[in-house]
A and B are shown apart, each in its own frame.
Chain A
Amino acid sequence: MITVTHYLMLSAILFAIGTLGVLTRKNAIVVFMCIEVMLNAVNLTFIALSRHVGNLDGQIFVFFVMTVAAAEAAVGLALLIAFYRNKETLDVDDFNMLKW
């Protein structure tokens, strides 16, 4: 029997994977994908909890999260392209113009 706890554990694991990926990966696109994994872990939490508490607010929230994630992706990839045109790299270690 799969209960809401299983879904919550799955989404917590996904969220942790996403967070670790953001903190450790070097390629900016992979980091961005890890952020998307975090957002989708949140979506899973919302849907599982929506089923659990028995109203639709959580599912509506998920629609907003997906829309916003799409808008964020558009802006983020545009920024990445602009950066790549100037520096020809997407390694986060090369984001080093501004420090101390």
Chain B
Amino acid sequence: MENLVQEAIQNVNLHAVMPSLILSVAGMALLLVAVFSPRGKTAHIAWLSIASLIVAGIVTIMGWNDTQYGFAGSVQLDNFAAFFSMICIIAAGLAILMSDEYLKRENFPVGEYYPLILITTAGAMWMVSGTDLITIFLGLEVLSVSLYILAGFFRDQVRCNEAGLKYFFLGAFSTGFLLYGMALLYGVSGTTKVYDIAAYIQANPDTTTNVMFVAGGLLMLTGFFFKIAAAPFHMWTPDVYQGAPTPITAFMSAGPKAAAFAALIRVTFICLEGMQDHLTTVFWVLAVLTMTVGNLIALNQKDLKRMLAYSSIAHAGYAMVGLVAWNEIGSAGILFYMLVYTFMNMGAFAILILIGRSGEENLTLDGVTGLGYKKPMLGIAFSIFLFALMGLPPTAGFTGKFYIFAGAINSGYIWLAVLGVLNSAVSLYYYLRIMIFMYFKEPQEDYAWVKIYPATAVSIVISVIGVLYLGIVPGSIMQLARMAGF
């Protein structure tokens, strides 16, 4: 008995969960701070949250190349997890920077907003470092449940309520599929540990034709496809992205999506490796469907947040091309692309925050008419992000797509790369249309309400630097992504 206890204590290894531990403790402490703060004062909570994110980031970086195993093999903090954790930390930091003034403008400065973002990030980290189906599920749920609250955060706005509810219903529905899949995988292999399932399949190769195993794998993947918003499981995305508070939309499209990709990569590349031949077909079809559906529907959108939501579906499609490739360049490409996407998409949403009036009714194409002349700096920054989203050099959007498509070509999927490039060409239309409204139409307003909030401006500057740096000298970060990839 004593030996068992000793062994259990040795197996814990808190180093493996240190970054997420810092964030969850900071999140809970800040919830208490929020209770004792005067109503309407939230700036100090925002700065403390940023400080805890920086500490977690430093701890994550110090753990680079030093894989930690914890909780009897349920958690594995390797380079892969560290890279995705950094993406989530950056996304959370940018979201917090653009939040404080936004919450004041929308007349809802409530302190528990920031702790919820920290706890979401902690959940994302469990998810990316989980090597046990239980850990992955738990991380996913910590992340999702906090995001349900954040998506419906403005409780007196019907749009926001609706976004939260839709996200909640579809998220919980998809969790059902994910769990049923996990249950069937457990039933076949007799274990919930990702590496043990892989070992079981290695020992019994005929498992991959077992109906229960195949059904379990596909059900679990369906759950993940909901989370990364791959077509045809994308229906919730536009509604939720449009209705949620803008900083949360930005955060959702970057951090949690990256975490879902991480768990998807880990589970498919390790657990379901035996089903590779069939799964690449599934990914192939879904990647093409996702990017085509996203881009085609985005063509017809007038609301900018909704347009960016469809564009984020299309970008999930591009990232899935890296899954189809199923090689080292492809998986490193996904890591790199998610980092790039964090900068370019969150930058674009930060601009929308500055342009928007209270209630954000004016965030349509007509709402940016002539913006480029009246607010030249904003116009230039927005153009940089749009060029990056199109995938034009010298921005990071180009290098990101380049690595992903290079991975696909390396595995012999030349047609897929061609379809991806054609899709990027389609997407030029709706991104360029925003720029035409900004630069080639006479201004009808003087944009007097647009104030350059300092913290939001900092997040835009960071995003611009990120987009240009990763676009012009991608080598060093790509090197890190290759060290982290599978």
Q: Using a CB–CB distance below 8 Å, which chain A residues touch chain B? A: 8, 15, 18-19, 22, 28, 31-32, 35, 38-39, 41-42, 45-46, 49-50, 52-55, 57-58, 60-61, 64-65, 68, 71-72, 75-76, 78-80, 82-83, 85-87, 95, 97-99
26 contacts between A and B (CB under 8 A): A22-B169, A28-B165, A31-B169, A35-B176, A39-B175, A42-B176, A42-B179, A45-B180, A54-B190, A55-B190, A58-B186, A61-B182, A64-B137, A68-B141, A72-B141, A72-B148, A75-B149, A78-B149, A79-B148, A79-B149, A83-B165, A95-B165, A97-B162, A98-B159, A98-B162, A98-B163
Query: Does B104 count as interface, using CB distance less than 8 angstroms?
Result: no
Q: Are A79 and B165 in contact (CB under 8 A)?
A: yes
Closest chain B residue to A45, Cβ basis:
B183
Rounded to whole Å, the gap between the CB of A82 and the closest CB of chain B is 4
Q: Are B161 and A83 in contact (CB under 8 A)?
A: yes
Rounded to whole Å, the gap between the CB of A90 and the closest CB of chain B is 10
Query: Which A residues are in CB contact (< 8 Å) with B172?
Result: 32, 35, 72, 76
Q: Are B168 and A76 in contact (CB under 8 A)?
A: yes
Rounded to whole Å, the gap between the CB of A58 and the closest CB of chain B is 6
Query: Which B residues are in CB contact (< 8 Å) with A55?
Result: 190-191
Q: Are A97 and B158 in contact (CB under 8 A)?
A: yes
- Consensus secondary structure, chain B interface: helix
Rounded to whole Å, the gap between the CB of A16 and the closest CB of chain B is 11
Q: Using a CB–CB distance below 8 Å, which chain B residues touch chain A? A: 133-134, 137-138, 141, 145, 148-149, 152, 155-159, 161-166, 168-169, 172-173, 175-176, 179-180, 182-184, 186-187, 190-192, 238-239, 242-243
Query: Which B residues are in CB contact (< 8 Å) with A83?
Result: 158, 161-162, 165
Query: Which A residues are in CB contact (< 8 Å) with B243?
Result: 97-98
Rounded to whole Å, the gap between the CB of B127 and the closest CB of chain A is 13
> Which of A19, A41, A57: most chain B CB closer than 10 A?
A57
The one of A18, A46, A99 that contacts B186, using a Cβ cutoff of 8 Å: A46
Closest chain A residue to B191, Cβ basis:
A57
Rounded to whole Å, the gap between the CB of A6 and the closest CB of chain B is 14
Q: Are B186 and A76 in contact (CB under 8 A)?
A: no
Tell whether A53 pairs with B162 under 8 Å between CB atoms, given A18-B176, A42-B179: no
> Which of A35, A72, A78, A98: most chain B CB closer than 10 A?
A98
Task: Give A39 to B177 CA distance when docked, in angstroms.
Answer: 9
Rounded to whole Å, the gap between the CB of B148 and the closest CB of chain A is 5
